[in-house]
Structure 1
Amino acid sequence: MKHSILFLVITTVCLSCGNDDTILNSERTLPPITQNGANTFGCYIDQLLFIPRDGDGTFSTNDNAMIFWGGGIDNDYNEIDVHDYNSEKTASLLMHIQGLHDNGIASYIVNESNGQNGIDGLNHTYMHCRVWRKDVGNYQNYLSYENSGNITITSFNLNSGIISGTFSGSVRNYQEPHDTIQITQGRFDINGFTLPDANFQ
């Protein structure tokens, strides 16, 4: 009986010793697919769940986990820049959507990325991500290529600031093009007016 009690105590202590990240990861799930400006984002990158998480930042400012902005001549592109700053060895993802203001609700073919963003990126829709690879022990950069995926905008309203959609695609390793991974079950629901104040834990 004493051995059983001792085993139970040791097991309970060991289970409670996991870091906060381990516990939270088991509770996190993809957000539902919505179109009401809920400020959500999620996908699987190489079968691992990726959702935004704010960081502590520096100089009393936080690292915002998700930023949505537009640029170029007459706002001819928009970008969704997403990071998980608060998990160990995770990922970041950028989606560049060309012609959103002209085309609105539509399906956008994902084409080649040069790994840059903004004016340094290419003039078409693309995505790229930075992913921790356990097998090589460091971060690797993965870029989209010609006709490698889709971003489907299901809601777009300038007056309300809402942009919602789904996405998926393949990306390949910048240094080793034979190394291809999948981005699946992607979804986002953004309110551009309230996003800067949103909290991602």
Structure 2
Amino acid sequence: MRKMILLFIIVLSSCVNDDDGTSSPLPELTFEGKNTFGCTIDGVNFLPRESGFNLNDPIPELTSQYVFINLDAPNGYWFSIFADNEVLSQSITIERILSDMPLTERVYTFGNQEHGVLNADYQTIGDIVTNEYGNDFRRWTNYATTNQTAGELNIIKLDQDKQILSGTFWFDCVDPEGNIVKIRNGRFDVKYKNYY
């Protein structure tokens, strides 16, 4: 029995990811669909990471889609990148929705509503807190781009045959209280899905 308990502890500890992504260097800017993503958040490195605790986690730490959605209304091109760091309980989403124009290799401005909506957000989940009724919950904060915040998404490579999207980004985002987070040095090189 002791051997089984020891084995269980060893297996459990090996599943925990000690690398939270803050001390690792940002990935090189590549254009091959290597499924890389990185940026800085207020000067601290952010990389997608799995925690290792949830073996049946249905949400991968890095996903991307680029698809034309043909529904009743409104139709349009939809592009998104989702990067999750489970160790730090932080995530970044970049998306362009409701666009009548396909993506091209160019610079897009956050907050510009021309030919669709380009926005981004940064979410962080805090510690467990107890409310006045004795219920436990995790406090989360969402920081989002607005028409007043600055930022750019630069699509450097779009290969629709190989489903590769590569580029750079930076943006400021704000929470409901007006606190600003600066996302800088962003780069990605992803293989995207072309279905919804």
> Is the TM value for this pair above 0.5?
yes
Richer in helix (by share): 1
- The structure-2 alpha-carbon separation of the partners of 1:125 and 1:138, relative to structure 1 and needing over 3 Å to count, comes to same
Identity of aligned residues (%): 21
**In the alignment, is the contact (CA less than 8 A) between 2:110 and 2:152 conserved in 1?**
yes
Q: Please tell me the root mean square deviation across aligned C-alpha atoms, in Å.
A: 3.2
Q: Which residue of 2 aligns with 1:162?
A: 164
- The structure-2 alpha-carbon separation of the partners of 1:75 and 1:90, relative to structure 1 and needing over 3 Å to count, comes to same
Q: Where do 5+ consecutive residues of structure 1 fail to align?
A: 1-18, 113-122, 194-201
Q: Which residue of 2 aligns with 1:124?
A: 117
2:34 matched to 1:38? yes
For each residue in 1:96-149, what CA deviation from the matched residue of structure 2 results, as whole angstroms up to 9, or x when unmatched?
A: 02449623101111118xxxxxxxxxx411100113579xx9542101011520
Richer in strand (by share): 2
For each residue in 1:47-101, what CA deviation from the matched residue of structure 2 results, as whole angstroms up to 9, or x when unmatched?
A: 221111135475745541011124533651111111012x1x3410100024496
Equivalent position SS for 1:102: coil
Q: How many residues align?
A: 160
For each residue in 1:10-61, what CA deviation from the matched residue of structure 2 results, as whole angstroms up to 9, or x when unmatched?
A: xxxxxxxxx963x665651100011111110000112221111135475745
Matched residues in 1 for 2:140 and 2:77: separation? 31
Matched residues in 1 for 2:108 and 2:22: separation? 33
Q: Which residue of 2 aligns with 1:96?
A: 95
Q: Which residue of 2 aligns with 1:185?
A: 185
Matched residues in 2 for 1:65 and 1:108: separation? 25
Q: Where do 5+ consecutive residues of structure 2 fail to align?
A: 1-15, 128-137
Relative to the length of structure 2, the TM-score reads 0.69
